[in-house]
Structure 1
């Protein structure tokens, strides 16, 4: 498992396309939308918009890691690597953990870099850093678990790309990452309570402002954890089907 993990991590750290999706594009979007929405506003409104946009785009763009996860699992399957690993004493869940853990590391670093960018460039408050750290860990777990489930379920990379866009962009729209949650229609607000993006975004905003309480934090962490566990369990159950499609 350790060899798989190290190999996967090195491969992804050398991928310039991943750097674009995970860091450069989120920063460009953040700068652009802050410029658009704060152009003619007073200082108080500007700060409120910035504190909403930065964690919103952090939460939205972490889901694009699913594209890379789908790609690496599909390549392993089509090149016969999955079948080869299956023929060894390595248990399936160790193989999946070896592929999964590097992406958790990458997403965590992504969140750190984007929040640091917000702090340096826009001086966003980070009033509860330990809470933000815990939230980042749980969000990382949830996102990559969803990615793991998606990776073993889809048949093609194009299908994975389409599903990622639905999850990332559709989830962002329905969770209030683009517009304030209380300005959304009632039916969209109801849907948002079932999405991890909503809970993560609200918690990040509150922790950045120093307003989050422990009961709300525990509720958010529990929801993120349960969604992540559901993704991992689904991936485990779908792995035999994924293995059958592997080239031998």
Structure 2
């Protein structure tokens, strides 16, 4: 009961006041959620292609219709050739092409494929595949016309039957439909979870700083003189910090999932459980650092020298696979690596029950570091300086 009273007092000081509610919950959770929402959006892979259709016949329109149906490109009609070139130069579009005025006439007449003007600043996968698709459409039209030409049709009949054939082909043409079966993780998942872990560690430092403030003001010293066991004092302070951190995690998950609509690709409960284990490890790191730093004003500086390097080593900024082998082995000694690994494996389809090692390592991090950091509550310690 004494531990619950101490935890409730911490909640009253941090969340049950208007200023504390804003500083410890609303503002941090909103900021983290906003960053995750912005950076976590998947970029659309469709290439923007501008065009001019100068063709006087009907085949130019058919070409544009077929290209517009391709899922990898977004076609936009340019007002003029000058505007088209200007957009390519300013990289507003990936590429551009112009259908000549005599396209239909040359195709009906037979012979080689007509020359098309294409514009691009550099060759890439999108422009190369688009050119292949365009040439494939024109080649198919050419083959269709050549087949009907062998039947000795008049030019009028040849035009008519060619357009009918191409129209029927487009009408019954099989088109692909992309279905996301969630077999792969969100490509932005890594940076989103990494940012979440970084801010969680920063938020936990704020709650631990309350305990440091109590030590500086001799509040803890007076608490230890009361008929309360030392274990209850330690448990109460850490329980209060853990509840504050849990509320922050719940708000962040709720906003990013159900307000911003970000798709993590894993169940809410499993995601929450892993973050709770990481929260325990974060508390351990914050309390261990606080037990060393006697001056609360130096807490942020010391944490910057601890949080940032461990997050870099743990893979919050880039995949661990990109680091040298010796750094990959060293990453096993920071909790960020185990939390990221667990969430990525869950998003790939593994159930929470198979991640017992990750949860065990995170719990071990928390218990060991909290044991070391319990010295923060020692009333015999005095503030340096």
> Does the Cα contact within 8 Å between 2:25 and 2:248 map onto a contact in 1?
no
Q: CA deviation at 1:30?
A: 2.2
Q: 1:93 aligns with which of 225, 231, 235?
A: 231
Partner of residue 188, structure 2 = 50
C-alpha distance 239-75 of structure 1, shift in aligned 2 (>3 A): closer
Q: CA deviation at 1:40?
A: 6.6
> Does the Cα contact within 8 Å between 1:21 and 1:64 map onto a contact in 2?
no
Measure, in 2, the Cα distance between the counterparts of 1:5 and 1:175.
31
Query: Which secondary structure does the structure 1 equivalent of 2:316 belong to?
Result: coil
Measure, in 2, the Cα distance between the counterparts of 1:20 and 1:173.
27
Deviations 1:117-161 (A, max 9, x none): 332324314434443233133222222232233333311123221
Measure, in 2, the Cα distance between the counterparts of 1:59 and 1:200.
8
Q: 2:218 aligns with which of 55, 58, 80?
A: 80
Q: 1:144 aligns with which of 261, 278, 283?
A: 283
Q: Considering only CA atoms, is the larger Rg found in Structure 1 or Structure 2? A: 2
Superposition pairs for residues 92-241 of structure 1, below 5 Å?
92-120=230-258, 121-212=260-351, 214-215=353-354, 217-236=355-374, 239-240=377-378
> Does the Cα contact within 8 Å between 2:212 and 2:376 map onto a contact in 1?
no
> Does the Cα contact within 8 Å between 1:142 and 1:224 map onto a contact in 2?
yes
Q: CA deviation at 1:218?
A: 0.9
C-alpha distance 29-125 of structure 1, shift in aligned 2 (>3 A): closer
C-alpha distance 57-165 of structure 1, shift in aligned 2 (>3 A): same
Measure, in 2, the Cα distance between the counterparts of 1:155 and 1:173.
26
Partner of residue 245, structure 1 = 382
Bigger proportion of residues as helix: 1
C-alpha distance 186-63 of structure 1, shift in aligned 2 (>3 A): same
Measure, in 2, the Cα distance between the counterparts of 1:24 and 1:159.
26
Partner of residue 200, structure 2 = 62
Bigger proportion of residues as strand: 2
* Aligned CA-pair RMSD: 2.8
Measure, in 2, the Cα distance between the counterparts of 1:233 and 1:149.
8
Q: CA deviation at 1:211?
A: 2.8
Measure, in 1, the Cα distance between the counterparts of 2:191 and 2:269.
21
Aligned length: 242
Query: Which secondary structure does the structure 1 equivalent of 2:365 belong to?
Result: helix
Query: What is the TM-score with the length of structure 1 in the denominator?
Result: 0.83
Structure 1: gaps (5+ residues): none
Q: CA deviation at 1:220?
A: 0.4
C-alpha distance 66-226 of structure 1, shift in aligned 2 (>3 A): same
Measure, in 2, the Cα distance between the counterparts of 1:119 and 1:236.
35
Query: Which secondary structure does the structure 2 equivalent of 1:138 belong to?
Result: helix
